[in-house]
Amino acid sequence: MGLAGIKDVADRAGLSIATVSRALSGKANVSAKSRQLAQAAAEELGFVPSYHASSLASGRNHNVGLVVPSVHRWYFSSVVEGVSAALLDAGYDLTLYNVGDQPERRHSVLNDFLLRKRLDAVIAVALVLSDAEIQQLLAIHRPIVGIGGALTGASTIRIDDAGLSLMAMEHLLRLGHTKIAHMTGYAELNQDFKLPGIRQTGFETAMKTAGLPVRPEWQVDADFTIQGAYASARRLLGTASERPTAVFAASDEMAIGTILAARDFGLRVPQDLSVIGMDGHELGEVFGLTTINQDARGQGALAARMLLESLDANAQTGTRQPASRQGLKQRAKRTPGSPDTVDHEYPTEFVIRTSTAVAPV
């Protein structure tokens, strides 16, 4: 007996081949009853849809490209989890491109691989694409979503890094801290959306507004890992002639490294040293870390949903459509000069735990 075909499924379900095709490919314009009949018949016959055949018919490959600068950093891996889960639920494959910090690799991914591969859409995380790169992708009608900052001509999902940094600092200032240190990222990590620099500017602005000096020896850098921050915090706390009473770390992992270093010197957190981070890392709860949760997985899932909605709109109208804002509580605005794109400011949550307290007398 040969393999069952879509006609066999249609005969078994008592439906037309077109209806079965729409039902099994996940399209919306099928009744729940017809979808159930088609799925039951396909399961009974052991029918597996051919994505190659369906892509020829629909012009869709059920594959989305995700470009990240790193996969071993917590933020990027969390975004990948959110994207992949949403795509898996929708029956899509994910092609992951880890471009690292090598310009030639990034160039080949953006200019060759993405265009040559059969991708329906592209998600770029914490990358600044050149106008030429964006125009190249838009020219072949691939929806693009950027996570982490604005991409001209593409829809974006971002948080207000500058405003949130000010929020973190205002929390420490309200607790009476005047001797505040900042742990930022290495200069080479300040590529693309300049995240470490933006958060550092927030720190400096808050200090100057409060009339407090920004002491160079209290501005240290690390590599956004717990281990790297631990080493940097040991230098900060062990060699300075005067210790700060609070540290604002540009990420939760660096805040956790700071807490571990403080313990080495017998400093109690928060009685002797308050520590605040930013991100929403799962370990934050374990360490009682005060932080701003940006829900990296949620950002990834939203990016995937935006692309899928855009692809569905394209299929129905044959044109590029703006991504939906449904179900997201945030400010969203049209990108100037780009009527089909939306700039999402993703909602965050200030989580106050036990790592911050009133400044010691």
Predicted confidence at residue 191, as pLDDT, reads: 54
Kindly report, residue by residue over 277-321, the tens digit of the pLDDT. Answer: 999 999 999 999 999 999 999 999 999 999 998 887 776 665 544
Domain-by-domain residue ranges, the chain? Answer: 6-49, 63-159+297-324, 161-293
Phi, psi values for residue 130, rounded to 5°: -70, 160
Contact call for residues 86 and 301 (beta carbons, < 8 A):
yes
Residue 69: cis peptide before it, omega within 30 degrees of 0: no
Task: Flag whether pLDDT at 169 surpasses 60.
Answer: yes
DSSP assignment letter at 188: G
Higher-scoring residue by pLDDT: 324, 133? 133
Task: Give me the residues paired with residue 291 across strands.
Answer: 351
Pairing of strands 246-249, 274-276: parallel
Cα angle 15, 60, 343; round to 5: 120
User: Are both 63-159+297-324 and 161-293 of the same fold?
Assistant: yes
Predicted confidence at residue 60, as pLDDT, reads: 62
Predicted confidence at residue 148, as pLDDT, reads: 86
Task: Flag whether pLDDT at 327 surpasses 50.
Answer: no
CATH (residue range 63-159+297-324) = 3.40.50.2300
Average model confidence (pLDDT) for the chain?
84
Task: Give me the residues paired with residue 125 across strands.
Answer: 147
Non-local CB neighbours of 139 within 8 Å, separated by 6+ positions: none
Contact call for residues 196 and 262 (beta carbons, < 8 A):
no
H or E stretch covering 180: strand 180-185
Cα 188 off chain centre by: 20
Task: Flag whether pLDDT at 220 surpasses 80.
Answer: yes
Non-local CB neighbours of 42 within 8 Å, separated by 6+ positions: 4, 9, 20, 24, 49
Predicted confidence at residue 56, as pLDDT, reads: 42
Cα 2 off chain centre by: 45
Question: Tokens 């179900």 belong to which residue?
Answer: 327
Task: Flag whether pLDDT at 112 surpasses 80.
Answer: no
CATH (residue range 161-293) = 3.40.50.2300
